[in-house]
């Protein structure tokens, strides 16, 4: 399938898709629609469709995604089957609405990280369950709380040059995915965009460069009370500023990297008129928030191990003393 056809499918209105199935919203505004979840029986509506971004979220399950993800869940089909089923309706919808303005996300050549020398990454399937080796990577190497992180992640299976790969996928607001494996690979399945999270929570907005820093923040905090925005690259600063301005957000709490790019990004937000709290000063001796988080976890583990050793030695000494007393009493 051509990339423009896939883009047309992702633009195909989720509200219209649900309406064709006889599923109508319980409440509708100019920017979103709320439903009783089509994925299960429920009394109180907890399924929201953002009509501007054409994305859905099921708050009861803390899961969401594009129209393709919804089709796979709702119809119990594979990725290729969902694309095939949606394709005809989406292309018809595009043809009939050709006079309407289309929201295109321009992707520059340096953002097309999914393009390789021999072609593109071919998406095979999405899964809500990460395989053991990717879970191990997040838990052991990145010290991520899997219970908190899993609702925001997918396992992305893709193919390059006939070889199949698996990566951790983090969805953005345009239906693309940021990818990371358990080695050094970092990439994107286009289009590249920002990822707003917890949009109904309070200001200031917590700002992150990449999703691993967001997952670190999630793992460190007991409860998240602020809106969050993952830029997915410092190249998305302009999009981030546009998103925040559009929602009349004036203050951000920046958890960016301790490098020139991070400092420059903070300054860009300041110059644009935002009130910025630069949180990087609290982990100034570390490359980024995740490195700081890993260091804290390792230190706690080390301290806990030392306490256990001391307790073991104390118990052994007490046991030896008890044996000596019993021996003297004979």
* pLDDT tens-place string over residues 146-163: 999 999 999 999 887 788
Contacts of 229 (CB under 8 A, 6+ apart): 194, 195, 196, 197, 205, 206, 207, 208, 240, 243, 244, 252
**In this structure, are 148 and 273 located in the same domain?**
no
Pairing between strand 115-116 and 119-120? antiparallel
Q: Higher confidence at residue 176 or residue 95?
A: 176
* Predicted confidence (pLDDT) at residue 250 exceeds the cutoff of 90: yes
Most confident of 52-66, 111-125, 134-148: 134-148
Domain termination site, one of 100, 133, 162: 100
pLDDT digits (tens, 9 = 90+) for 66-112: 898 898 888 877 887 788 878 766 545 444 343 333 333 332 333 33
Tally of domains within the chain:
3
Question: How many Å apart are CA 104 and CA 178, to the nearest integer?
Answer: 19
Q: What is the CATH number of the domain that holds 220?
A: 3.40.1360.10
Q: Is the pLDDT of residue 256 over 60?
A: yes
pLDDT exceeds cutoff 90 at 307 = no
Residue 258: give the domain boundaries: 194-330
For residues 14 and 56, the answer to whether their CB atoms sit within 8 Å is yes
Token pair 């396992």 is found at 155
Contact 155, 166 (CB under 8 A): yes
DSSP state of 48: E
Identify whether 113 is part of a domain.
no
Is residue 109 in some structural domain?
A: no
Residues 18 and 93 placed together within one structural domain of the fold = yes
Type and span of the H or E element at 252: strand 251-255
259 shares a domain with 175: no
Q: Clarify whether residues 224 and 256 are in a common domain.
A: yes
| Domain identity same for 267 and 318 | yes
Q: C-alpha angle 182/221/57, rounded to 5°?
A: 75
Q: Average pLDDT, whole number, for the chain?
A: 82
212 & 313 share domain: yes
89 with 130, same domain: the answer is no
| Predicted pLDDT at 319 | 64
For residues 223-234, average pLDDT: 93
Report the C-alpha gap between 282 and 206 in whole angstroms: 15
H helix or E strand, kind and range, residue 57: strand 55-58
Share of the chain above pLDDT 90, in %: 45
Residue 107 lies inside a defined structural domain of this protein: no
Instruction: Give me the residue label for tokens 């109508």.
Output: 24
Q: Is residue 292 part of a domain?
A: yes
The pLDDT, as a whole number, for residue 113 is 37
Residues 271 and 157 in one domain: no
Mean pLDDT of 223-242: 92
Residue of higher predicted confidence among 279 and 115: 279
Say if residue 204 is preceded by a cis peptide, omega within 30 of 0: yes
Residue 286 has pLDDT above 90, yes or no: yes
171 versus 9: the higher-pLDDT residue is: 171
d(CA 276, CA 178): 26
* Among candidate residues 191, 209, 243, the one where a domain is terminated: 191
Yes or no: say if 202 and 214 are a contact pair by the CB < 8 Å rule. Answer: no
Given 191, 216, 243, the domain boundary residue is 191
Express as a percent the part of the chain with pLDDT over 70.
Answer: 81
**319 and 200 housed in the same domain:** yes
pLDDT class for 243, splitting at 50, 70, 90? very high
> Could you tell me if 269 and 168 lie in one domain?
no
Residue 284 domain flag: yes
Ramachandran category for residue 121: left, alpha or beta (phi over 0 → left; psi -120 to 50 → alpha): beta
pLDDT tens track for 78-88:
887 788 878 76
Q: Per-residue pLDDT for 183 more than 70?
A: yes
Same-domain pairing of 184 and 214: no
313 plus 205 within the same structural domain: yes
Number of DSSP helices (H) and strands (E) in the chain, helices first: 10, 17
Contact 46, 29 (CB under 8 A): no
With respect to residue 49, please indicate whether it lies within any of the assigned structural domains.
Answer: yes
In a domain, 112, yes or no: no
Q: How far apart are CA 191 and CA 177, in angstroms?
A: 8
What's residue 312's pLDDT? 67
Looking at residue 322, its pLDDT comes to 63
Residue 69 lies in a domain: yes
């Amino acid at each position: 399938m051509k990339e423009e056809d896939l883009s047309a499918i992702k633009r195909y209105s989720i509200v219209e898709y649900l309406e064709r199935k006889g599923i109508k919203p319980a409440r509708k505004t100019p920017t979103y629609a709320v439903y009783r979840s089509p994925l299960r029986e429920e009394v109180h509506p907890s399924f929201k469709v953002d009509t501007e971004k054409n994305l859905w979220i099921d708050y009861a399950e803390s899961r969401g995604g594009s129209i393709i993800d919804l089709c796979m869940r709702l119809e119990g089909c594979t990725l290729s089957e969902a694309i095939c089923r949606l394709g005809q309706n989406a292309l018809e919808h595009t043809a009939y609405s050709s006079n309407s303005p289309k929201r295109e996300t321009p992707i520059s050549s340096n953002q097309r990280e999914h393009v390789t020398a021999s072609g593109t990454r071919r998406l095979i399937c999405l899964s809500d369950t990460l395989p053991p080796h990717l879970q191990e990577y997040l838990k052991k190497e990145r010290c991520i709380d899997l219970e908190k992180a899993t609702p925001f992640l997918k396992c992305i299976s893709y193919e390059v040059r006939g070889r199949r790969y698996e990566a951790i996928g983090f969805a953005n607001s345009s239906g693309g995915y940021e990818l990371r494996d358990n080695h050094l690979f970092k990439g994107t399945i286009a289009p590249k965009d920002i990822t707003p999270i917890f949009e109904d929570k309070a200001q200031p907005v917590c700002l992150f460069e990449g999703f691993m820093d967001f997952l670190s923040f999630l793992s460190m905090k007991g409860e998240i009370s602020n809106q969050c925005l993952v830029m997915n690259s410092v190249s998305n600063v302009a999009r981030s500023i546009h998103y925040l301005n559009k929602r009349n957000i004036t203050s951000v709490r920046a958890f960016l990297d301790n490098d020139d790019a991070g400092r420059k990004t903070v300054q860009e937000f300041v110059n644009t008129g935002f009130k910025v709290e630069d949180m990087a000063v609290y982990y100034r001796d570390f490359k980024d928030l995740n490195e700081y988080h890993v260091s804290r976890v390792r230190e706690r583990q080390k301290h806990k191990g030392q306490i256990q050793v001391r307790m073991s030695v104390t118990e052994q000494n007490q046991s030896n003393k008890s044996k000596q007393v019993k021996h003297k009493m004979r």
